[in-house]
Structure formats: C-alpha cells, structure tokens
A = this chain, B = another copy of it.
Amino acid sequence: MAEQSNIPAELLQAIQRGEARVVDLTHTLGPQAPFWREGNAPSPFHAKDTATYRRDSYFGREIQIPEHSATHMDAPRHFDPAGKSIDQLAVENFLTMAVVVDVSAAVRSNPDYRVTVADLENWEKAHGPMPRGCLVLLNTGWASRWPSEKQFMNQDAEGVRHFPGYSLGAAHYLLEHVHPVGLGIDTSSIDYGPSKDFEVHRLTMFAGLYHLENVVHLEELPPTGAAVIALPLKLEGGSGSPARVLALVPNEPPARR
C-alpha cells in the first residue's frame, strides 16, 4: 500500500522538528482583563465555583462573560441583523494566511492614528500583494498597555476613548483589492477610539467579514507567511465570542556555515 501524503501530519511534524512554531495571540480572560464599559453590561468577568474539591472531589466553575471579552471574534450579526451569527461562520475561514501591517511608530506620536491606504500600498511595495482571502492584522503596539484598563481604553476627561484603528478608506481598499476573510487588531475595536458610528464595523460586518479584536504578540509574526487559527465558541445566535487565536509561523532555516 503506497504511503499517501498527509499534509496535516506533515505540519505537526514540522512543528516538532522546529521548522514552524506556535504563537498564542490570545490575552488571558479573567477579572483583570480591560473591558468596554457601556450600556447595561454589568461587569467584565465573573467566575463562580460550582464544584469544589472538598464537597465534590473536583473543581468546576460557571463563568459569565460578554461575547466581546478580551481576545474575541466579531460575527457579522454584531452589526448586521441579517448577517451570520458566530455559530454560522464557515470553519474553513478560521484557518487562514495572515498579513501583519505595523503602524506602531505612527501610533506612538498619535494614539488616534488610523491606518491609511498609503500604509497598505507601502506595505505591498515592500512585501508584495496581500494574498486574496487572507486575514489582515494591524499591529499598533497597543497590546503592551494590557491589562491596564485605564491605559488600554485611554479615555479622556469627556469619556472619549483614544486608541488607533482602521480608516474607512483603508477598509474600502482591503475589501476591493484583498477580499480578506477578516480584519484583526490589537486594540478593542477595528474602529479607532473616538469613533461614534463605527463606520468601519458597519462596512465590513455588512460585507460578511469577521473581526479579531484585542489580539496580542503580533510583533512575533512576520509581515507575511504566518497562518492563523482563530476559533470562537460555537455560540448559538451569538454576535461574537471570546476566541483562542494561534499563529503558525515558519522558522527561518539555520544559516549555512
């Protein structure tokens, strides 16, 4: 019987041989996680012990969390009443090539920075066209402010948040030229902090994309060549879900001597 190729097995073997590595792009989800305080959401995170070693011989909890807690995925339903809910998204789109656009230098002098079309064009001049259907990740450097809610949400005296995001123009450019499955960012929102109408959300959710927000460790990814596995819970009718997000990064081969 001829040995058939098994590409999933080859991937795992490559990781074991050190030819690729797994990077966890996920913040820990607990009471310290910064939270988007609004509306009637009473609290960021609650955990209650429902089984204890002493009484039950084992330990278990019940957790209470917003769908958009810590590192999470937005489904189109978040803004589009007719859009897919988180449990309806095609699982194939959860495994995708990623490009990372680094605007952290611009953000240092302007926390309200929004990535521009020129930023994307310059990226493509340096790294080639973004692959169709990829996941676009914006590294703004903001993850280093986690877990300080004060620094991460960065509200001014009027309660206006200040953190970077995508410009509407950049989102249009990506939809037209790259057709990404999703957009990701290391802040709480792909719309920048001062946004009142969430115009980028509105564009991209109605276009059927998903978002990954509050991701971390983007600085460990190359601009191109990493794959991302982003898995939300299969929450029935959900607007989104906390997610576990991993990157698979090919390692450079050792230099020849």
Chain A residues near B (Cβ < 8 Å): 4-12, 14-15, 19-20, 22, 24, 26-32, 38-42, 47, 50-51, 53, 55-68, 70-71, 77-79, 81, 87, 91-92, 94-97, 197-198, 201, 225-227, 229, 231-240, 242-244, 246, 248-250, 252-253
Contact = CB atoms under 8 A, between A and B. Distances in A.
Contact of A28 (B29, B87, B243): B87
Residue with the highest number of chain B CB atoms closer than 10 Å, among A38, A233, A239: A233
Number of copies: 2
A9 B60 contact: no
B250 A231 contact: no
Contacts of A27: 234
B57 A68 contact: no
A212 to B, nearest CB: 13
Given A30-B235, A233-B242, A58 B78 contact: yes
Given A7-B20, A227-B12, A240 B58 contact: no
Contacts of A15: 92, 95
A239 B62 CA distance: 10
Contacts of A29: 87, 233-236
Contacts of A57: 79, 197-198
B4 A95 contact: no
Contacts of A244: 94, 231-234, 244
Contact of A246 (B10, B42, B94, B248): B94
Contacts of A67: 60-63
Nearest to A253: B4
Contacts of A20: 7-8
A59 B78 contact: yes
Contact of A11 (B87, B227, B236): B227
11 contacts: A4-B253, A6-B250, A9-B97, A24-B91, A41-B50, A42-B62, A62-B64, A62-B67, A63-B64, A95-B246, A244-B244
B68 A227 contact: no
Contacts of A239: 51, 58-61
A246 B91 contact: yes
Residue with the highest number of chain B CB atoms closer than 10 Å, among A6, A77, A81: A6
Contacts of A81: 53, 59
Residue with the highest number of chain B CB atoms closer than 10 Å, among A10, A12, A64: A12
